[in-house]
Structure 1
Amino acid sequence: MQYKEFGKTGHRSSRVIFGAAAFSEVSQAEADNTLALLLDNGINHIDTARSYGDAELRIGPWMKQHRNSFFLASKTGMRTKKEALEELKQSLSRLKTDYLDLWQLHFLVDKQEWTTAMEEGGALEAAIEAKKEGLVRFIGVTGHGIDAPKRHLESLDVYDFDSVLFPFNYMMMQNPQYAEHVRLLLAVCDQKQIAVQTIKSLARGEYGQKEKTFSTWYDALSKEASIEKAVQYVLSHEQVFLNSTGDIHLLPMLLKAAGKPIVRPTDAQMQALVRDEGMSALFK
């Protein structure tokens, strides 16, 4: 497993971050088996959220023995200070910890929600207050959809966040406008030493009329060779971290791919993958 400084936090994080959305509907036994897999593969960073079903409850029992083994991140989807602080209280209780290493304003893309979170009495104030009180060490912002990188640029004009998170895969980067906003965001993050987290590495597209196969809300790649190309494509961009898949059954193949020497697939190889897998952009 490769490791990289997580922005200016001082934490040297595994390039693959465990995305605990995969724990939204699993048993504690399944979660504990995943813990062993994470430790065996050198994963030292967990990313969860209050909104991820039972995920925080599944991670909480690990913290008594393994709190120092992981950089622990969670998120709030609340937009006001009062509501966000209440969610933080719940997250700390569910995770059985006194503090979070990273607390993130979740899915902050909608313009009105963004305004509410950033203004007086908003969620950003909650995060700043929580940091002063030692309840969180660092503050991040996350986003889904086609506007996420653009909105993150606006967020970074308001506050010096420690991390950002947005969708990043080959199909998304074929959208010229999206790719340009990503390029601008990466430049700002490089200049300010802001950690860059990415999601949806294994997205094949929407389920549409297909029967849902995985716990991910989107259709995911499932062949080992296809997963390897998708993972290698993301990790070959040295600035970014890859937040893992939302399905525990796909996780072993993702980790296997990440454990190999990182070589960026050629454009011809990625185009062949798109054709063979029938891939489409998840966000348009």
Structure 2
Amino acid sequence: MTRRGFVGWTMAAAVGQAMSQWLGFGEAQAAGGPPPAEGPIPRRPLGRTGESVTVLGLGGSHIGRQADPAESVRIIRGAVDGGITFLDNSWDYNGGESERRMGRALKDGYRERVCLMTKFDGRDQKSAARQIDESLRRLQTDHVDLLQFHEIIRPSDPERIFAAHGAIEAALAARKAGKARFLGFTGHKSPDLHLAMLKACEAHGFHPDTVQLPLNVMDASYESFEARVLPELTRRGIGVLGMKPLGDGELLRSHAVAPEDGLRYAMSVPGVSVTITGVDSMEILAQALAIARGFEPLDVRRRTALREAAAAAAANGQYELYKTSHHFDSTHQHPEWLG
């Protein structure tokens, strides 16, 4: 796959271990990999980029948590062989281990079959440029297809990124040098911060190709990205990368959301290009692929029923810890990564 010729992408975040307790596809499938195809994974336009993406993709965080690195490679290659073509990652995932394992998995022709994304934390030009180059070395590639500013989770982030000698200079230089095809940003904390970043982008003449944000059945009831940010992305023609369909498994603790329903809801949100899901076993991969193959979105009545069933549990954000705590805030725990 060349920088100009890749076909289709797919992304996602967090199905979690509990999925295996709710969904069953047989021991043979769990041991042998993805189940037989029941149709291709559908594709959707990725904003105004002219590219299409599959509705499901592989998240990078869980990949680096495996006790056995070889199992991580097996999962990544199983995902690609099963039809997933977009791989998510980040410079800060598991001390770089997620990128290193993905780099090993993408040898032997696999790199040419995927669209590869990673993220960086640096807010100044120097630290951002260093992290971008470190990611490329770990991933064993000369370019990623999508590069994103990671964790827009504090009011100062847009100002620092667009300041003189800010991270925007490193991102634009990486794109100009062919190290990245497209640019975007991510965040999980507050719709207000996403909207502030969009405003800053507009003020500085920067047009993000993608934006990554939490979209799930509980989001609609508390500080909703779906209600407040998604319409702005659609209006601007920005590709929408949905993440945290099950909140890293936290939504399941409420007993108001079943894994299959949660993933189907996230993949059905109108305007979403792709849902990024975390996978930490071949069994979970098989289950996710079974949902994605031949996927048909839930209709508005079914989506409404699922939101209403989860509304009471979702009201104060107690199961969306990425909004209400610092549990998922890697740059809060390591501010030195910001530069």
Question: Structure 2 length normalisation: TM-score?
Answer: 0.71
Higher-RCO chain (CA-CA 8 Å, sequence separation at least 6): 2
Check the 8 A contact 1:274/1:280 in 2, yes or no: no
Residue 287 of structure 2 aligns with which residue? 253
Residue 160 of structure 1 aligns with which residue? 207
Q: Does 1:151 align with 2:188?
A: no
- What is the identity percentage for the equivalent residue pairs of Structure 1 and Structure 2? 25
- Mark the CA change 1:160 to 1:167 in structure 2 (over 3 Å): closer, same or farther: same
User: What SS does the aligned partner of 2:156 have?
Assistant: helix
More strand by share: 1
Check the 8 A contact 1:16/1:244 in 2, yes or no: yes
User: What SS does the aligned partner of 1:85 have?
Assistant: helix
Residue number among 260, 270, 276 corresponding to 1:238 in the alignment:
270
What is the identity, as a one-letter code, of the residue corresponding to 1:108?
I
Check the 8 A contact 2:79/2:285 in 1, yes or no: no
- Mark the CA change 1:79 to 1:234 in structure 2 (over 3 Å): closer, same or farther: same
1:164 CA drift (Å): 0.4
1:246 & 1:32 partners in 2: Cα distance?
12
Check the 8 A contact 2:64/2:72 in 1, yes or no: no
Show CA shifts across 1:104-160 (max 9, x none): 000023122331111111111110111111111111100011244333432432320
1:155 & 1:55 partners in 2: Cα distance?
31
User: What SS does the aligned partner of 1:219 have?
Assistant: helix
Check the 8 A contact 1:103/1:139 in 2, yes or no: yes
Show CA shifts across 1:45-71 (max 9, x none): 011001012110011023331112111
Check the 8 A contact 2:58/2:86 in 1, yes or no: yes
**Equivalent runs, 1:1-284 vs 2, <5 Å:** 1-26=41-66, 27-53=68-94, 54-64=97-107, 65-147=109-191, 148-157=193-202, 158=204, 159-175=206-222, 178-179=223-224, 182-203=226-247, 216=248, 219=250, 221=252, 226-240=258-272, 241-245=274-278, 247-248=280-281, 250-259=284-293, 260-264=295-299, 265-272=302-309, 280-282=319-321, 283-284=323-324
Q: Which stretches in structure 1 are left out of the alignment for 5+ residues?
A: 204-215
1:268 CA drift (Å): 3.1
What is the identity, as a one-letter code, of the residue corresponding to 2:50?
G
1:165 & 1:251 partners in 2: Cα distance?
22
1:277 & 1:191 partners in 2: Cα distance?
27
What is the identity, as a one-letter code, of the residue corresponding to 1:43?
I
| Matched positions, count | 267
1:25 CA drift (Å): 1.9
Residue 34 of structure 2 aligns with which residue? none
Superposition RMSD in Å: 2.6
Check the 8 A contact 2:58/2:84 in 1, yes or no: yes
2:180 & 2:314 partners in 1: Cα distance?
41
2:99 & 2:153 partners in 1: Cα distance?
24
Q: Which stretches in structure 2 are left out of the alignment for 5+ residues?
A: 1-40, 325-339
Check the 8 A contact 1:166/1:197 in 2, yes or no: yes
Question: Structure 1 length normalisation: TM-score?
Answer: 0.84
